[in-house]
Amino acid sequence: MRAFLIVLALALGFGGVAIADEIPPARAGAPTVAPPGAPGVDGTLAPAVVKAPKDRDRTEGKGTGMALLFWACALGTVGGAIFVITRRNMIAAVMGMVGTFIAVAALYMMLYAHFLAVIQMLVYAGAIMVLFVFVIMVLNRPEDEPWALTGLPGKALAGLAMLYLTFRLGQTVWSVKADANALAAPAAVTVTLGKKVDPVTRAISQDTESYHWGSTGAVGKSLFHDYLFPFEAISILLLAAVVGAIAVARPWKDEDSPDDLNEDVPSEVVS
Amino acid sequence: MNDILLHVGFGHFLVLAAVLFAIGVAGVLLRRNALIVMMSIELMLNAANITIVTFARMHHDLNGLSFALIVIAVAAAEIAVGLAILIAVFRGRRHVDVDRLNTLKY
């Protein structure tokens, strides 16, 4: 199991680092842009210009980092799922499930469903995991040995790897120059298209459809235009679920049949 | 072989979702702890979601994302109610073994 986790972490790390190494050339898509003074500069868009971002957009990415990251996420997904159905310790099963959920969120990211990836992290890896852990705490007896001091070297190694990956992530994020035009909403970018904008902004705005495909705004538009009734129905459903959960899980009062569940149960040993 | 490994396409995502769904089915059928069964159901819902999102991306259709969002919400509601039922069952019988929860059969 530890070997599996180590392999997974290594694959994720190398995939992420490879992707991070691939990004700067694509981000500096400026060099591949036609040199200043070329015919296309005064606002007209030259299609051949945006080669690098286009290539990154396709899910069928040819990059080694992309493939490595996909296989790492696939490993995490399947490994976590197998973990769920094989562990006897239920907390371990929940942790495997959380790994699956996080890997699935990464898969959503690869499919350009950014908003759904965030929702997956919030709802599944956040709320549902907490729910499961709470129920396990209710159902299980306390552990005999709450602290695990074994395997400290592995934990130290994992911590170091985590630090390194965080450092690389921060490095990548900070190396990206924040450009007001690039950060603006798609509409604003479209507005500036007619004027003279710098090549990177133009490359990004030309790719607007792809970059904003799964964004919050796009999903929200679909959700509130075409699926408004299902959305409202979901709110009713969630309300009913909350009320139902409270009603079901509430402790039995003495007056309403306290032990009727126990009546026709063959007397079983408390497990 | 190298092509399959290095050129990740939509088929990869679909096959991964199928594998995840199969694992979820196996968990539902094989495990007896009701909590694990519910986790396996979550796995299956996630596999369905991956398929939906993959097809949505394939067809550049945003409606699939709305549908996936609704699936997530329904899954959350289902888990809330299911875990509440589990707690109620556990309070009565001190176990959540689905093989021994057979009173409704008779």
Q: Which residues of B touch A74 (CB under 8 A)?
A: 12, 16
Determine what percent of chain A is predicted with pLDDT higher than 70.
54
pLDDT at B95 over 90: no
Task: Provide ipTM, 2 decimals.
Answer: 0.92
pLDDT at B10 over 50: yes
Predicted TM-score (pTM) of the model is 0.69
Residue type, B1: M
- Sequence spans of domains, chain B: 2-105
Q: CA angle, A86 as apex, A128 and B34 as ends, to 5°?
A: 50
Task: For A203-244, write each residue's pLDDT tens digit.
Answer: 555 455 556 777 888 888 888 888 999 999 999 999 999 999
Query: Which residues lie closer than 8 Å to A115 by C-beta, 6 or more apart?
Result: A214, A215, A216, A218, A219, B65
Task: For B11-63, write each residue's pLDDT tens digit.
Answer: 889 999 999 999 999 999 988 888 899 999 999 999 999 999 999 988 888 88
DSSP state of A122: I
**Chain A contacts in chain B segment 1-60 (CB below 8 A):** 5-10, 12-13, 16, 19-20, 23-24, 26-27, 30-31, 33, 35-36, 38-40, 42-43, 46, 49-50, 53-54, 56-57, 60
How far apart are the CA of B104 and the nearest CA of chain A, in angstroms? 11
Closest residue in A to B48 (Cα) is A104
Compute the distance between CA of residue A168 and CA of residue A172 in angstroms, rounded to an integer: 6
Number of domains in chain A: 1
| Residue A55 pLDDT grade (very low, low, confident, very high; cuts 50, 70, 90) | very low
Task: For A63-97, write each residue's pLDDT tens digit.
Answer: 777 788 889 999 999 999 999 988 888 888 999 99
**3-state secondary structure at position B33:** strand
Q: CA angle, A145 as apex, A142 and A148 as ends, to 5°?
A: 125
Q: Give the CATH number for residue A135.
A: 1.20.120
Q: Do A222 and B63 touch (CB under 8 A)?
A: yes
| Secondary structure of A62-97 as H, E, C letters | CCHHHHHHHHHHHHHHHHHHHHHHHCCCHHHHHHHH
Q: Best residue in A55, A73, A121, A135 to probe B by mutation, most B CBs within 10 Å?
A: A135
Q: Which residues span the domain enclosing A128? A: 2-139+162-179
In a domain, residue A220? The reply is no
Q: What is the CATH number of domain B2-105?
A: 1.10.287.3510
Q: Do A139 and B8 touch (CB under 8 A)?
A: no
A234 touches chain B (CB under 8 A): yes
Task: For A94-131, write each residue's pLDDT tens digit.
Answer: 999 999 999 999 999 888 888 999 999 999 988 999 99
Compute the distance between CA of residue B21 and CA of residue B23 in angstroms, rounded to an integer: 5
B80 touches chain A (CB under 8 A): yes
Q: What is the predicted pLDDT for the residue at A104?
A: 94
Q: Which of B90, B46, B76 is nearest to A242 (CA)?
A: B76
A82 touches chain B (CB under 8 A): yes
